Structure 1
Amino acid sequence: MTETADSTAQATQVSQESHHAQQAEMPFGLVYGKAITKLPDDLYIPPDALEVFLEAFEGPLDLLLYLIKRQNLDILDVPVATITAQYMEYVELMKAMNFELAAEYLVMAAMLGEIKSRMLLPRQKEDEEEEGEDPRAELIRRLQEYERFKQAAEDIDQLPRLERDVFLAAAKRPEYSREKAQPDVDMRELLLALKEVMHRADMFESHQVSREKLSTRERMANVLDKLKGREFVPFIELFNPEEGKLGVVVSFLAVLELVKGSLIELVQTAPFAPIHVKAKTLVLEESDVLAQLELEDEPETEIDAHDGTEG
């Protein structure tokens, strides 16, 4: 029995020593690279040396909403007394931590105090019927409106944001220049290519058709030939519509030249009546006419049927 008790005591001592060894291996801090397992006995920490970081609120409404949600309270049935007490504790804590309180927190504290007082004071039935509104209604309305805006802001913050969730990739293309190799072409190949190009150019060349020049002298002979053997010829028969405007002009000039040379005469029986042409000599040889025309000193008049100019 004595040996058993001694062995049990030794095992307990070994386990305690190993347990202390494990605790010694986990320091709570490092100072200049040296592990610190316990604080010095003469260590003094001033009261203002440590700062407590509280959750930041964006205003009194944010603080009230936090207090309501933390306790899972119904926002439409807020226990004003409980919330006011918690709100004032937080305000006093901020004062104790030397935080600068904004005027909004003090205004909200006064508003909560007023609502609490109005709910605690007894009211007559007549006053209840006249007022008929819960003193917390305005506070609840402001809390609901702030909650909607806060939720909308959180939803917007969840959207992908440039330089936070989305990053644009940019890369500059390296500048390089590639030298074009000059083609190694034989002179014979150049000549064959030139020959082929010239052949294709001939295929696209269009044929130009030029009109025949109309001579006034020849037209004068044609007019006299039409009058040969006929006493009166209608003036309109001397013109050929198929020749177009240029043919009409040449025929008209030919008639004027014949009238000027006293070879024909124009006859009209009444104003605006048809005009007839009559040769002064009934039998007139073409050779005689040409001989007479050649004796004229005036140069021959020709009209280019292509451009309508006299020559």
Structure 2
Amino acid sequence: MADVEPTTGAASDPLWDDWEAPPRRPSSPVLHLDGFDGPMDMLLDLAERQRIDFGRMSILDLAEQFVAAMARLADRVTLEQRADWLVVATRLVLLRSRLLFPDSPEAAATAEQDAAAELRRLKDMVAMRAAGAWLQQRPQLGLDVFVRRPPTVPREGGYVALMEACLVVLRGTEGRPEEAPLYRPAIPDLWRVVDALVRIQLLLVEHPAGGDLAAFLPPVAEEATDRPLRARAAVASTFLAGLELAREGTLTLAQQVPFKTLQLAMAWTVASSASGTTHQTL
């Protein structure tokens, strides 16, 4: 029996060759793009849900592979199914075009700003690479150049050197090299917190009912050139001393109106005043 010539049909396709019966028709053409290998309908689903970086894929490769698949399967797939494939391919091209061209003036302005920022980043990267290359070409310590360290002289001593050192110590400062003077800042002669503590306690012993904060301030000479500074230091030190004594429970601080006169009094006189007993104030 003579061999029967095969029927002339579409171009050779490994998917359909070497089969006695054709396999199941594909539901969608298979694409091989940068970052994706699979059916075209799956690519559309992933792109619409933003589950894949569709912007990195070449629209030219997508179109060429789709046209080749349509030509290869033209006589094996129904017209209705090929029409569905064409709709899917059209939607893919539309999505890809939206990534290339903004759909509103606001999006265009944002894209322009992003592009300018990306250009600035690229310029900075080029500058940093140039600086790194320049530094790399500089002579490096330990590789291209070396430092000559001074030789270390071992310390040698003996009995005579020990006696000389002892003689210097016994003589005291005489014979020793002059030491660098120490920096000792001049402390101004101002009213201190320690002085304010003593003054407040002495005045409260004589006048337990206390008085205004100004009554516990020390006298400041009228002819003093730094009288404003001394007055401010006296007020600050007396106020801090009053807070410290109030914390210890020795006296009480009272102020009837905010930012007005501050009253200082012995702690036990407050309870006496509440019971009706009066005391002399400053």
Q: TM-score if structure 1 supplies the norm length? A: 0.21
Q: Which has more radius of gyration?
A: 1
Q: TM-score if structure 2 supplies the norm length? A: 0.23
